[in-house]
Structure 1
């Protein structure tokens, strides 16, 4: 794993930290590879139920490392997108804990997560248009789906940032917290998520993706197919049995 991405197991949560504080945690090829490796571990380790993505020393990520890009280095991984994340479809829940700047690709990494916890003084922005490109790591595609059209267009066309507080007002953050508290709160939120059945969590994510932009009949059809597998699982039987026996379920992911 890249030395520019640190990981830590905290209970059933995989804490992933971009660790390039000298470059404001900008994403270069090494960071992209490290994030891809960390996400692979999250996906394939049955003891891990959720991931939290953050940045070292009070900055989430300044986005693409422009100096590295000018030398021809790519922050993308084929089939996985910017930072090895933005075009992936992890089955397990992934949360972003945003302190400081989440600019450009950093904002797009957060948009690639399922839940976002933001410090009130964090900065979210897509300034690519100020430099010539566009927010091609998911910003142009995802942001208009998350907030009202005209507000998304303002962020995309002006390139001006908003605070974590404003991100919460727009619905881009699930929790807005005091500076320095984002990771701790994200870990608590991840723990609450991971109390639930892992197969059900994966099914929710899969169905939400299938329903995105699809006609309702097609979305319900996809849901029925997913439910066939889910309802025959040991976890559903365990959940129903635990409810009847008034005890906490013991999930196996099977």
Structure 2
């Protein structure tokens, strides 16, 4: 792992922190490669049950790609593996929580967008700034199902930032908290996830993604089969047994 990305493992939770505050946590090549490594490590760790992504400092969550580096390399069309995109070039079946500590612009917006949950500091702002620099945001396609079209048009066409409170109203953010409560709130959500049955959590996560990819009717048919293994698992018997015996369930993930 490079210095640009710091990973802390707290029990079942992997915390991934972008660590380039002097560059507004912009993603240069080393940071992008380290992000890939961090996500792959979380997927490979059988004890990992949730992932938190955040940035160093209170100014920027992530300013997106490093434009200085981009200019120096003369980048035209970004390759498929230019930056991690969950569900596209990184397969991660653990829930991801974005803890947005400051400005989430361009590729930083993408990181917040692709997370399963998003908690934002009151100081956080969100913007798709590609139009300011003659670039593009094809990764913003999922936003068409997340927020109203006119709000999406505003983000794409003006490149102007919106405040955390408005992002919450639009449904981009689950919760807005004071800066000093950001990571505690993200960790609280992560631990709440970790207390639940892992097979059910993974299947619910997969079901939500399927519904966006396939449409409601097709996704419902696949979801029935997706949960068959959950219902037939030992954990599906453990949950009701624990309730009956008035104790906490002991999940086996099988």
The normalised TM-score by structure 1 is 0.92
**Runs (4+) of structure 1 moved beyond 3 Å?**
76-81, 83-86
The answer for the alignment partner of 1:135 in structure 2 is 137
2:19 corresponds to 1:10 = no
The answer for the alignment partner of 1:65 in structure 2 is 66
Q: Distance in 1 between matches of 2:42 and 2:21?
A: 24
Counterpart of 1:6 in 2: which secondary structure? strand
Contact 2:242/2:248 (<8 A) preserved? yes
Structure 1 residues 12 and 77: alpha-carbon distance in aligned structure 2, compared to 1, 3 A threshold: farther
Q: Distance in 1 between matches of 2:74 and 2:43?
A: 27
The answer for the alignment partner of 1:100 in structure 2 is 102
Matches within 5 A, 1:1-254: 1-58=1-58, 59-72=60-73, 82-83=83-84, 85=86, 87=88, 88-136=90-138, 138-139=139-140, 141-254=141-254
The normalised TM-score by structure 2 is 0.92
Structure 1 residues 39 and 215: alpha-carbon distance in aligned structure 2, compared to 1, 3 A threshold: closer
Q: Distance in 2 between matches of 1:77 and 1:159?
A: 20
Structural RMSD (CA): 2.0
Structure 1 residue 209: Cα displacement: 1.5
Structure 1 residue 194: Cα displacement: 1.4
5+ residue gaps, structure 1, are none
